[in-house]
Amino acid sequence: MAKYLQERTAMNTHYAAALCKLMLGATLFAVPSCEPRSPKLPVPSAPCPAFVDDTVTFSAGGAAYPVRLHLSTSAAAGSDGPLVLFFAFTLTHTEAAVSLGEAGIERIENAGGVVAEILQTPQTVLPRTVVAALADEIVACADARVGIDPRRIHAAGESVTAEQAARLAMDRSSYIASLAVHRGGASYEPPQTNDRFAALITLRFAPFSPDIDGPFASKATSLFNGLKQNGHYALFCDSDGMLPGTVQFFVDHPFGTSPSPYAAALPPEFAGLNCPAEIGP
């Protein structure tokens, strides 16, 4: 699996660089704006928990927060894999398995990666500043404890937590490579750095209930339009849930991927899906 990730990344990086240079009128010479940028990772600000396949506690801003880690300790010891920050809305640590799929999580684990499921309840939804501080701590500790691929740090969330994931991508564009949200989003705000991230946005187009789906559709559409207008790659698809191809989207969009390899054609994982350029309820 690690070899597959390396080969697909090399192919996508080559494609993106070649297309970028072609668009800028370059030939065989390096073009600075086409060269991949390097992510900037935080460092731990508190003692890091052991990285095991279980619920552990992270400290951020003087408080403690439960996070369910999904990983294979043996695979993580042998390879620096991706890190997915998944924002859950329960304390049962089952949402990531439903949203990303058991096969998707296993794929990440086999590549030496980690899915960090940030556990919350309707009564304990984390504010924006805490989300960013906690994400920093998870990223820093994952890199320190098991090692991660710094170009493969992703964020994901659904409904209420879609806004958390989207805002984290904007607040931490210095290391978030790509984003996946379902049934939600956030109004676009320019990232604090010049870095751009790719986004996969899904929403149920029909049946559409203005009372139930309207607020989520408004946020998702606002995010999509803002990303497209500001140089990010964004794909908007019709789906009842987060797509089975979400993990593949992460694989194909490491940090700094521009243009997206999906700009020319969607991969087989997205065949048959309704992914229009624009959407309106």
Residue 172 per-residue DSSP state: T
Mean pLDDT of 35-53: 91
pLDDT at 85: 98
Which of 101, 136, 104 minimizes the C-alpha distance to 118? 136
Lowest-confidence region among 38-42, 89-93, 132-136, 142-146:
89-93
**Average pLDDT value for residue range 14-21:** 49
Who has greater pLDDT, 187 or 276? Answer: 187
Task: Compute the distance between CA of residue 134 and CA of residue 86 in angstroms, rounded to an integer.
Answer: 12
Structural domains in the chain, sorted by start: 48-270 (3.40.50.1820)
Separation between Cα atoms, residue 29 and residue 141, nearest integer Å:
38
What residues does 157 pair with on adjacent strands? 87, 181
Q: What local confidence, expressed as pLDDT, does residue 113 receive?
A: 98
pLDDT of residue 257: 93
pLDDT of 198 strictly over 70: yes
Q: What is the pLDDT averaged over residues 119-141?
A: 93
Q: In what order do the strands lie in the sheet with 198-203?
A: 55-60, 63-71, 114-118, 83-87, 153-158, 178-182, 198-203, 234-238
Quick: pLDDT tens for 58-106. Answer: 999 889 999 999 999 999 999 999 999 999 987 665 688 889 999 999 9
Mean pLDDT of 268-280: 73
Higher pLDDT, 173 or 32: 173
Measured distance CA(122)–CA(89) in Å, rounded: 7
Tell how far CA 144 is from the center of its chain: 20
The residue among 211 and 186 whose pLDDT is bigger is 186
Cα 155 from Cα 168, distance rounded (Å):
8
Instruction: Please state, for a pLDDT cut of 90, what percent of the chain lies above it.
Output: 61
Give 154 or 8, the one with higher predicted confidence.
154
Q: Which carries the bigger pLDDT value, residue 9 or residue 30? A: 9
Kindly report the pTM of this predicted structure.
Answer: 0.85
E strands, the chain, in order? 55-60, 63-71, 83-87, 114-118, 153-158, 178-182, 198-203, 234-238
- The confidence score (pLDDT) of residue 206 equals 72
Q: Residue range 100-122: average pLDDT?
A: 94
d(C-alpha 83, C-alpha 41), whole Å? 12
Q: How far is CA 20 from CA 24, 26, 37, 259, in A?
A: 6, 8, 14, 6
State the pLDDT at residue 34.
Answer: 53
Total number of residues shown for the chain: 281
Examine the pLDDT at 33 and tell me if it is beyond 90: no
By C-alpha distance, which of 4, 36, 2 is closest to 17?
36
Q: Which residue has the higher pLDDT, 172 or 211?
A: 172
- The pLDDT score that the predictor gives to residue 278 is 43
d(CA 76, CA 113): 6
Tokens coding 56: 């552990």
**pLDDT above 70 (res 15):** no
Q: What is the mean pLDDT of the chain?
A: 85
63-71 and 83-87 beta bridge pairing:
unpaired
| Rounded mean pLDDT, 45-66 | 95
User: pLDDT value at position 31?
Assistant: 38
Q: Give yes or no for residue 196 having a pLDDT over 50.
A: yes
**Within its chain, how far is the Cα of 86 from the centroid?**
8
> Does the pLDDT at position 9 exceed 60?
no
CB-based burial, 121-142: b 16+ in 10 Å, e otherwise: eeeeebeeeebbbbbbbbbbbb
Give me 215's structure tokens: 């607020």
CA distance 34 to 4: 24
Give the per-residue pLDDT at 32: 40
